[in-house]
Structures are given as C-alpha cells and as structure tokens.
Structure 1
Amino acid sequence: MSHVPADAPFVPLGIAVLTVSDTRGLNEDGSGDLLGERLAAAGHALRERQVVPDDVYRIRAVVSAWVVRDDIQVVLVNGGTGFTPRDTTPEALMPLFDKAIDGYGELFRHLSLESIGTSTVQSRAVAGLIDRTLVFAMPGSPKACATAWDGILAAQLDARTRPCNFVAMVLPEAERCDSRQAPTGRPADTRTREGVAS
C-alpha cells in the first residue's frame, strides 16, 4: 500500500478516453462527453478521445498505441463490458495487463448494486496496469461512467487521496512517496519513459 504524505500536492494526469460502440460516433457519445468533462473539472488533461467498434483487435490497437505515449498516464474505456456476443472489452484488455486491479471491478459492482440491483453481476468492469499506464474499463452508459468516475476514479486518480491512491504508479521514481521506494540494498525499477519514468 502506498501511503500518502499529508502535504501531497495535486498532480494533473494525461488521460485518454476510448468509447467502444458499434452504433455511436463522437457526436452521439454521451459517455465519452461525461468522462471528458469530469476529468477536466478535476484538473486532469484530456489527451485524446476515440470511438471504435466492439472488436478485440481494434480495442487493443488503440490502447496499445496510447500506453506507450509519454503524455498519457491513464486510459478510460467505456462500453463492451456486458455479456452479449459483441461485448469483448475485457477479452481485449486483460491479456495486456501486467497487473490486474481486481478491486476496481468488485467495487464498481458494489456501487452499482444500489442503482441497478442484481443486474450488476452482468457488469464485467475490469482494470489493470500496463507498464506505467493505468487502464480502467466500465460499461458504456453515462450513468455507469458517472458511477465509475464519481465513486472510484476521481479519488484514486487524485494524488492527495489518503491513505493511498494510484497516482504513484505512473509518477517518476523521484516523485513517489517513501513507501514506494525500493528497500535499501535492492535496486529500484529503472525503466523510463520520457516524461514518466518508472
């Protein structure tokens, strides 16, 4: 667990939004609009936004291109997390994860229980870390996106959230709090990306 110092400052992150839909374009993308507005209001930067069809390889191609960019630390994916034959977002993303964030899906379903009842079991919201990029997938309705952002992501993408948050996972080593540093005598991870070192 990464403990946050009392005087931790807010750190704006570069965030990309991907909408997975066979029927929506950018002009009809209320969920992408909501996420873009929420992240900007929180002080983060919307780096890029796209809409792609429900297709494993199209989803992977966009996310793979984004996670190697120095200016993107977080990718938000909405849509394609249900149980229909066309819902393939989890299948597209999970093989890419270096580490899965199991608690995200668990908490999302817990929060959704209040509004949609037991139908929440059909949500396959997933999240994980790909290199130094956080990827969060959620259902495609604006209400579900609001649940994910307001109930989980707004706090976990804020470096001031205590006792811990995910921002340290995408910050340069020098900016992480002491509990994220490698123990004495053990080398720290030295992989770097320009602008976002590990």
Structure 2
Amino acid sequence: MSRIDETRDFIPARIAVLTVSDTRQADDDRSGDTLVQRLTDAGHTLAARAILRDERDGIAQQLRDWCDGGEIDVILTTGGTGLTGRDVTVEAHRDVYEKEIDAFGTVFTHVSMAKIGTSAVQSRACGGVRNGTYLFALPGSTGACKDAWDEILKWQLDYRHRPCNFIEILPRLDEHIRRK
C-alpha cells in the first residue's frame, strides 16, 4: 500500500531518460516522452535525455558518464529489455551496477501480470545503483513505461512516501565511497 505523508516536503530528484533503440528518433520517442511527462508532472527535474542504438558498450558508457558526473540522481532507460539478440540494455546496466535492486524486476513483473498476463515473463526490467545514482531499465513499450512509473517509481521517488522510499536513502548510497 502506498501512503503519502503530507507533513513531509517533496524533494525533487534529477532524472535522466535514455531511450535505447535502433529505430527511434527524438520526434517519435513516445516512451521517452511518456517518462519525461510523468517525471516532470510529479515535480522532478529532467536532468538529461538521450537516444542511443542497441550497443552494449555505448549504453554502459552513457550510464557511467551520467552516474559519475554527480548531476543525476536517477536514470531511467527504456528499450532493450526483451529477449531478442539486439536487446542488450540489461547487460549494459549490469556492467555498471555496484548493487542490483533485485525486487524491482519482481515488482515490475507483478504489476505487468495484472496488465498483460503471462506476457510479462518476456521482460527483463531491472534496477540497480552506481556511485549514488539509481538506474532502472524499463521495456520500450509506452504501456510498460506508464506501468513502471505509475505503480512503482512515482511512489519510490517521492520522499513523502511511507513507510520508506528511495529518496530518503539517496544521500547514503555512496557512503562506502566517502568513508575510504
């Protein structure tokens, strides 16, 4: 159950959106547009946006650059989470994760099951952390992006969400680095 504690102030996150596709361009990136609209409507800041081809090394490098730049709190990627040969976004994500958020994929599958039944098994949506930045790999369908945002991320990226949320622990994600 999601609860918002109105006694707490909303804290906007700086969120980047990366669309992974061999065919999409800025003018027809509906899934990227959907994520941008939802995150800005929620009060967050769009910190960066890009479209890259389905190339593992290029995706991983963009994720590293954004995570290591210190200007982005959350990265949402859309596309490349399926099972075909060109779907390499999940592998690129895992190349850069320090820690994986295992339950994100599980919860996303649960949400998807309610919408698309057993077809949910074909998604490899995942989440993780690198250098104090959250990363989430979402499918390329607009519906899946809506579901991930509306049912999971909208709540977990809201500091007011109870009993806990990603934003309240954001300052502690890189404490192991700061202690060295």
TM-score (norm 1): 0.83
Partner of 2:117 in structure 1? 117
2:83 is equivalent to residue 83 of structure 1: yes
Partner of 1:16 in structure 2? 16
Contact 1:47–1:72 under 8 Å retained in 2: yes
2:147 is equivalent to residue 147 of structure 1: yes
Shift of 1:168: 2.4
Partner of 2:94 in structure 1? 94
Contact 1:132–1:169 under 8 Å retained in 2: no
Shift of 1:5: 8.2
Give 2:29's aligned amino acid.
Answer: D
5+ residue gaps, structure 1: 174-179, 181-187, 193-198
State the distance in 2 between where 1:142 and 1:5 align.
29
SS of the residue 2:161 aligns to: coil
Question: RMSD over aligned Cα, in angstroms?
Answer: 2.0
Shift of 1:69: 2.1
Q: Percent identity?
A: 46
Contact 2:60–2:95 under 8 Å retained in 1: no
State the distance in 1 between where 2:102 and 2:65 align.
24
Contact 2:18–2:77 under 8 Å retained in 1: yes
Partner of 1:191 in structure 2? 178
Give 1:11's aligned amino acid.
Answer: I
5+ residue gaps, structure 2: none
- Please identify runs of 4+ aligned residues in structure 1 that moved more than 3 A: 4-7
- Residues 153-192 of structure 1: pairs in structure 2 closer than 5 A: 153-171=153-171, 189=176, 191=178
Which has the larger displacement, 79-88 or 62-71?
62-71
CA displacement, residues 129-181 of structure 1 (integer Å, 9 cap, x when unaligned): 1120000111001100000000000000000100100012323x6xxxxxx9x
Contact 1:78–1:145 under 8 Å retained in 2: yes
SS of the residue 2:84 aligns to: coil
Larger proportion of helix:
2
TM-score (norm 2): 0.91
Give 2:132's aligned amino acid.
Answer: R
State the distance in 2 between where 1:114 and 1:189 align.
38
Distance 1:190 1:24, change over 3 A: closer
Shift of 1:119: 1.0
SS of the residue 1:119 aligns to: helix
Give 2:106's aligned amino acid.
Answer: E
State the distance in 2 between where 1:106 and 1:44 align.
25
Distance 1:28 1:5, change over 3 A: closer
Give 1:19's aligned amino acid.
Answer: T
